[in-house]
Chain A
Amino acid sequence: GQNIDQPTEMTATEGAIVQINCTYQTSGFNGLFWYQQHAGEAPTFLSYNVLDGLEEKGRFSSFLSRSKGYSYLLLKELQMKDSASYLCAVMDSNYQLIWGAGTKLIIKP
């Protein structure tokens, strides 16, 4: 079966760095997406990886290793507004998205 695993909850301190991991087992691979979802709101797109390596976008970076079925989202210089859930999703060989349950990130002052 197809499966995406990510931690349920993480806590970090304002100004620090946090890494949210995502491991996957899917039927084929056409890319991995990260979305941010604030409580009570819709998910919004953060990043996309299809090749191995690191993609950087300001304070956020996303890494992919296809051979290991592994990705992480790195958030630097954490701000209180980064408190949200972070969703990992993999596009399989049929271009269907397989979603993880999300990681709730709590930022403490």
Chain B
Amino acid sequence: NAGVTQTPKFQVLKTGQSMTLQCAQDMNHEYMSWYRQDPGMGLRLIHYSVGAGITDQGEVPNGYNVSRSTTEDFPLRLLSAAPSQTSVYFCASSLRTDSYNSPLHFGNGTRLTVT
């Protein structure tokens, strides 16, 4: 099992550009999510999905779109990049949404810089 595969590892964008961060998991996990991590702050949830065809907004969804057409894939799209979106992005999945001990498995992260 590869676990959670996230690409790219690094990306530099100019303000206004768009891009897609890819995330795939091969563990048949029900739940998938995108977080951003900024210095001095806890992980902040951008969007999440509890199953194929179902997505919902997290704490900081503005400027981002997601889709979940298959159980395995959960891409994150930046519509028009802004310097405030400079961050480290993590994709994470877990087996169940509503069970107690269902820890998150994280991808290796994407370091995004917007100039």
In the docked arrangement, what's the CA distance between A45 and B35, Å? 16
Report Cα–Cα, A96/B42, bound state, in Å: 14
Of the listed stretches A13-21, A36-44, A57-65, A73-81, name the one at the interface; the rest are far from the partner chain.
A36-44
Number of interface residues of A (CB under 8 A): 24
A95 contact set on B, CB distance < 8 A: 97-98
| B109 adjacent to A42 (CB under 8 Å) | yes
Kindly list chain A residues whose C-beta atoms are within 8 Å of the C-beta of B40.
Answer: 8, 101
B41 is an interface residue with CB less than 8 A from chain A? yes
How many interface residues does chain B have, given as a range? Answer: 10 to 19
Judging by beta carbons under 8 Å apart, are B100 and A31 in contact?
Answer: yes
Identify which of residues 1-35 in chain A touch chain B, using a CB-to-CB cut-off of 8 Å: 4, 8, 30-31, 33, 35
Complex-state Cα separation, A99 to B103, whole angstroms? 13
Contact between B108 and A42 (Cβ–Cβ < 8 Å)?
A: yes
Contacts of A87 in B (CB 8 A): 42-43
Contact of B100 among A45, A50, A89, A102 (CB under 8 A): A50
Interface residue A70 (Cβ < 8 Å from any Cβ of B): no
